Amino acid sequence: MNRRLASVLSAAAMFAAAAVTAPQEAGAVASLMPSPGCGFVPLPQPVGELTARYFHCDDSFILIKFHWSGGNTGTACVAPWHQHPFYRSDGQRVVNAYYVKTPPNVIGPPGSQMCSVSQPRV
């Protein structure tokens, strides 16, 4: 089974389990969590401090650049078929995130690579 299918199936299972265990809350959870897609997805309402996610739909490591509501920027590495959550910080939230062509810093041998702690600034 490929990773994309596995992540879609696990998301569907999570929502199905929520509906079975707490039917009155399932609609509320579904309305707070948008269906997984690719790219930057702001949540319609924050879930705790979580305000947005970036979903990566490819077999490569990528670097994303993100913008805070106060004007600051940052970068993050996203592994193949993974997502990067964004949380509120000091009253600010991430308002946009997008792929940049600069390659991310990865560590580890081929087949077992992961994102490095330090990433390029773009």
Tens digit of each residue's pLDDT (9 = 90 or more) over 83-121: 999 999 999 999 999 999 999 999 999 989 999 999 999
In the prediction, which pLDDT does 18 show? 37
In the prediction, which pLDDT does 37 show? 79
**CATH pick for 36-122 out of 2.60.120, 1.10.10, 1.20.1440, 2.60.40:** 2.60.40
pLDDT over 90 at 4, yes or no: no
pLDDT mean over 35-52: 90
Phi/psi for 97 (5° steps) reads -150, 145
Helix, strand, coil percentages (3-state) for the chain, rounded to 5, are: 25, 40, 40
Domain ranges of the chain: 1-33, 36-122
Whole-prediction pTM: 0.70
Tens digit of each residue's pLDDT (9 = 90 or more) over 61-77: 999 999 999 999 999 99
